[in-house]
Amino acid sequence: MCHCSGTKQSYIQRLFDEGLDIQDISRRTGALSGCGGCEWNIGDYLKELAAQRASGTTINK
């Protein structure tokens, strides 16, 4: 999901599942701290994960 840091979607999901928020994920991975091209994709993905968690379903990507 982040080309600058090489952070993959599956790692972002794992960190989210561990309870990290977007700022913590950025600090841990370096995502969202380079060119900014991943900002919307990661933000939208985290919103989707949160909605899925709230509804009791999971995302399998």
Q: What is the pLDDT of residues 11-61, one digit of tens each?
A: 999 999 999 999 999 999 999 998 889 999 999 999 999 999 999 876 665
pTM of the model: 0.84
Q: Does any domain span residue 24?
A: yes
Q: Is residue 49 part of a domain?
A: yes
Range of the domain at 27: 9-55
Q: How many CB atoms lie within 10 A of CB 13?
A: 19
Confidence (pLDDT) at 34: 86
d(CA 15, CA 21): 8
Query: Residue 60's pLDDT is what?
Result: 61
Domain count, the chain: 1
Mean pLDDT of 6-11: 96
Question: Rounded to whole angstroms, how far apart are CA atoms 51 and 58?
Answer: 9
> What are residue 7's phi and psi, to 5 degrees?
-80, 125
Q: What is the dihedral of CA 50, 51, 57, 58, to 10 degrees?
A: -50
